[in-house]
């Protein structure tokens, strides 16, 4: 999908006419704060603009970027001003919890994480990369297996646009159980 795609044609009415909560995108670490970069989007143009910005920044750095995406806001998990532990946070993760990896010149990844089922979007005809890709995992740089990057940036943009507008998985993309991939 590109900036001139048909999805943008009905974008303007989306925020006013659709009572769905915004999508929150969180990635990397904000150098001015102790938290991650975070933005909420309600329209396709906002979504594609922020994805393009994150993608371009990651390409310049040479390290792909993981983005966590969810509907609305996460609940406050602090206890008396201190962060709750990771096990408690898992109990508060929204359903679904989405993860995208963009910022590689050839590949991207997208996972749909639900409590009962975790799937990954795949393009079976796309050949795998020869080696792992380094990606920013919330401030830490880790290698990601080529099997977890079976898409292109355009695929991820399309999948997230469908989710923003319809709150469903894109049905023109294949989905594989993550247990079969890992």
Supply the pLDDT for residue 128: 94
Residues 132-174 pLDDT 10s? 999 999 888 999 999 999 999 999 999 999 999 999 999 999 9
What is the DSSP code (8-state) at residue 150?
A: -
Q: List, in order, residues 6 or more apart from 161 with CB less than 8 Å away.
A: 1, 7, 44, 47, 48
Supply the pLDDT for residue 19: 63
Residues 71-103 pLDDT 10s? 987 655 544 444 444 445 556 678 899 999 999
Supply the pLDDT for residue 94: 84
Residues 109-120 pLDDT 10s? 999 999 889 999
Cβ neighbour number for residue 29 with a 10 Å cutoff = 14
Q: What is the pTM of this model?
A: 0.83
Supply the pLDDT for residue 33: 74
pLDDT band at 1 (very low <50, low <70, confident <90, very high): very low
Q: Indicate whether 34 pLDDT > 60.
A: yes
Going by DSSP bridges, is the β-strand pair 109-113/82-83 parallel, antiparallel, or unpaired?
A: unpaired
């Amino acid at each position: 999908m590109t900036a001139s795609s048909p999805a943008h044609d009905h974008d303007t009415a989306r925020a006013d006419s659709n009572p769905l909560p915004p999508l929150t995108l969180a990635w990397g670490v904000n150098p001015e704060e102790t938290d991650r970069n975070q933005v909420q989007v309600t329209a396709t143009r906002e979504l594609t603009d922020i994805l393009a910005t994150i993608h371009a920044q990651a390409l310049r750095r040479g390290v792909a970027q993981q983005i966590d995406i969810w509907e609305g806001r996460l609940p406050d998990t602090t206890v008396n001003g201190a962060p709750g532990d990771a096990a408690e946070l898992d109990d508060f993760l929204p359903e679904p919890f989405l993860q995208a990896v963009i910022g590689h010149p050839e590949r991207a990844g997208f996972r749909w994480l639900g409590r009962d089922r975790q799937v990954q979007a795949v393009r079976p005809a796309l050949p795998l990369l020869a080696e792992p890709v380094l990606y920013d995992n919330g401030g830490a740089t880790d290698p990601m297996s080529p099997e977890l990057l079976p898409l292109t940036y355009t695929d991820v943009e399309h999948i997230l646009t469908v989710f923003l507008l319809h709150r469903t998985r894109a049905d023109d993309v294949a989905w594989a159980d993550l247990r079969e991939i890992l």
